[in-house]
């Protein structure tokens, strides 16, 4: 059997190299584009999850504020707590800590 050796010219090798380069660049472009699409989808999902968590935290803060506001001397007495007079407590004086049981109305 005779094997034939086909010689390629410089022009043919250049054209094949150019087609190979275009194919590799197209593949890289598709990978980058898919990565970008998945990144945007993930960002949207994280935004929605953050919004859900924010509303959940807001509901918990409201529930906590209502429970703290409902505490008075009668509730403390039914749960067998006693007021201690004449003692020194550390009390926050900022606007966030506006709930306190230490002072009766």
3-class DSSP string for 17-74: HHHHHHHHHHHHHHHHHHHHHHHHHHHHHHHHHHHHHHHHHHHHHHHHHHHHHCCCHH
pLDDT at 96 over 60: no
Given a contact cutoff of 8 angstroms between Cβ atoms, the answer to whether 95 and 70 are in contact is no
pLDDT digits (tens, 9 = 90+) for 39-70: 999 999 999 999 999 999 998 998 998 888 88
**Domain-embedded: residue 101:** no
Within a domain: 78: no
Q: How far apart are CA 95 and CA 10, in angstroms?
A: 81
Residue 49 maps to a domain:
yes
Segments forming the whole domain that contains residue 62: 10-71
Total tally of structural domains belonging to the chain: 1
Asked, for residue 4, whether it belongs to a domain, the answer is no
**Range among 3-7, 73-77, 101-105 rated most confident:** 73-77
* Residue 105 within a domain: no
86 falls within a domain:
no
Distance, in Å, from the CA atom of 104 to the CA atom of 84, rounded to the nearest integer, reads 12
User: Is residue 40, in this structure, part of any structural domain at all?
Assistant: yes
């Amino acid at each position: 059997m005779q094997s034939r050796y086909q010689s390629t010219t410089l022009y043919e090798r250049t054209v094949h190299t150019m087609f190979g380069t275009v194919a590799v660049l197209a593949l890289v472009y598709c990978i980058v584009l898919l990565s970008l699409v998945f990144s945007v989808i993930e960002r949207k999902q994280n935004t929605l999850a953050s919004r859900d968590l924010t509303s959940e935290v807001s509901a918990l803060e409201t529930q906590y504020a209502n429970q703290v506001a409902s505490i008075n001397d009668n509730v403390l007495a039914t749960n067998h707590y006693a007021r201690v007079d004449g003692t020194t407590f550390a009390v926050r004086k900022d606007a966030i800590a506006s709930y306190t049981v230490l002072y009766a109305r």
